[in-house]
A and B are shown apart, each in its own frame.
With several copies, the nearest count.
Chain A
Amino acid sequence: MKWFDEFFERQARAVAQKTSRRSALTKISRALVGTAFLLPVLPFARVAQAAHGGGAAPDAKLDPMNDTHCEYWRYCSLDGFLCTCCGGSVTKCPPGSQASSVTWIGTCHNPDDGRDYIVSYNDCCGIASCGRCFCNANEGERPGYRLSVHNDVNWCMGNESSIYHCTVSVVLGVSGGAG
């Protein structure tokens, strides 16, 4: 479990660096109803999506288990390009990029097992913007004075190259031990 220890330490450091409150770990319940996000093709669709997300009817094509769609369950607070569309995976940055050393965090409901999970959104850095599969979800998102749950900053900020490429979604654990 060496990797897990290292992972734990790194995340703990990262979280500690960027929040002055325990808020990042506070469980934020996820409203399941009406969270039908569109799959945007162009960046500006972030807002179109947000608009349509409000009260739109569930769409059969919007599969919460398809990780190249905005409505994938882990993406509940992801604001950026999905690395799954950019040569990476849900948890891996595309080849040639670097994972961000600091992150923001969301709490997302996994419909598959009914649990809420803490998800770390790492940006991938160092190569030009991917520009594909833009999503903008904001569950539990807070303004910049709660930076660890704020997604309107560049989380590549701490890297050697802070050029933003795309974003991955890494499960840290079950929220609040309630799982």
Chain B
Amino acid sequence: MIRASNILRVGFALAVWCGAALAADPLPPEKIGVATAPVPTPHRLYLTDLQIAHITDGVVHIVDGQSFKYLGMFSTGLFGITALTSDSSEMLVASTYYTKRNRGDRFDQLEAFDTKTFALKKEIQIPAKHAMALPYKGTIAPSVDDAWVFIQNATPLSSVTVVDHKAWKVTAEIPTLGCWIVLPSQSNPRRFATLCGDGTLVTVTLNEKGDSATQARSEKLFDAEKDPLFVQGERVGDSYYFVSYEGNVKVINVGGDVAKVEDAWSLVDDADKKAGWKPGGYQLQAVHAATKRLYVGMHDAAKNGSHKNPAKEIWVFDLATKKRIQRAPGSNSIAMALTKEAKPTLYAYDGINLNFVRYETAPELKPVASGDKVGDFAGLIETH
């Protein structure tokens, strides 16, 4: 009886309100709804946040870099690793679930969130081995044509799960013992390379079905002991630009059967070395192919263990001349990414103030604006 009488009462009250509305123009009754995601721009930023203090509750924050307005989020769960598809239409997430939240049976999934609607588009179970890693670029990666998704595994033994993106099924698990990070090739979408602990790269080439692969190990291309490469590679065609702990650039081509070094040079001169300037951060550099620019987060007085320090400065190099052409304030950057534009904007993530800083890149690199705090334990930016 309670229900019926209340409906009458509510109905009466609403009728009264409606009468009032006509008489004196109060605010009209409103309808609740769900917002439509805004049309993406090149300045839309995706920030992957591990949330270490609440490890099962990872997210990707979606922010408009022009207004720094918060647009929404994707839930990524326990050590979710993330990558935009090459066409930016989906955010790919590999994550781990337990049937009882923190316990029970483990299962892993690859999930695709629609960047147009922010809704979960599709999901598929994958081998329960996905690398529970901080969000480094290349822990998960689409092929350049988005036909394949490559997912780093660690049990801690390394392997790579291959997913046919169109058929949306797992086709293979490729053992890559002692190697880490997927580096897709541009010229051959069924090929990727991976960095190995002995200083070699292993190049994996899948067959057409993606269910078997050949592997070829390069010569030793870097010294993993004395001058390790940061795993954050910036791709231009088939070439990946890496920087090393000691401040050397190495350009490695992954287009062929076997990876090879194309070029190598140093970011630091004798004076820089004396002051201890070295690269540091998580996503610590960015490359823009058209304008031939390399941006690297640097800190001075570097010492054993400072290689993840926030940037004191961001150094700008001309890839043609291999010369430093500018030093800009570092904004405590621990992650940075360029917009995919002919005249790019650089976005840095300040690891101390936990906010985005926008830099114009021309005529020279310059911080121009910063947003409010976003994220708690974030380390990877992607631009739409």
Contacts of B157 on A, CB cut-off 8 Å?
17-18
Least Cβ–Cβ distance between B201 and chain A, in angstroms = 10
CB of A96 within 8 A of CB of B118, answer yes
Answer whether residue B264 sits at the interface, using C-beta atoms and an 8 A cutoff: no
Query: Are B3 and A17 in contact (CB-based, < 8 A)?
Result: yes
A140 pairs with B16, CB closer than 8 A: no
Pick from A29, A34, A93, A153: contact of B154, CB below 8 A.
A153
Q: How many residues of chain A get a CB closer than 8 Å to chain B's CBs?
A: 105
Bin chain B's interface residue count. Answer: 35 or more
B196 at the interface (CB under 8 A from A): yes
Of B13, B24, B299, most buried by chain A (CB within 10 Å of CB) is B13
Contact A28 B373 (CB under 8 A): no
Min CB–CB distance A177 → chain B (angstroms): 3
Chain A: CB-nearest residue to B134: A152
Beta-carbon contact of B230 and A157 below 8 Å: no
**Contact with B198, one of A20, A80, A94 (Cβ below 8 angstroms):** A20
Instruction: Name which of A34, A44, A91, A122 has the most chain B CB atoms within 10 A of its CB.
Output: A44
| Other-chain contact of B31, A144, A147, A170, A173 (Cβ < 8 Å) | A170
On chain A, the residues within 8 Å of B79 by CB distance are 154
Q: B53 is contacted by which of A23, A88, A129 (Cβ under 8 Å)?
A: A129
Contact A87 B35 (CB under 8 A): yes
How far is B67's CA from A147's CA once the two chains are assembled, in angstroms?
39
**A57 interfacial by beta-carbon distance below 8 Å:** no
Asked if B225 is at the interface (CB within 8 A of a chain A CB), the reply is yes
A54 within 8 A of B: yes
A-B contact pairs, 14 of them (CB 8 A): A20-B178, A23-B197, A47-B310, A88-B34, A93-B32, A99-B33, A126-B103, A137-B305, A138-B307, A157-B155, A161-B106, A162-B78, A168-B32, A173-B18
Interface residues of B (CB under 8 A from A): 2-4, 6-7, 9-11, 13-14, 16-21, 24, 26-37, 52-57, 59, 62, 70-75, 78-79, 96, 98, 102-103, 106, 113, 117-120, 131-134, 136, 154-158, 177-181, 194-198, 224-225, 228-231, 299-310, 312, 332, 334, 351-352, 354, 373, 376-377
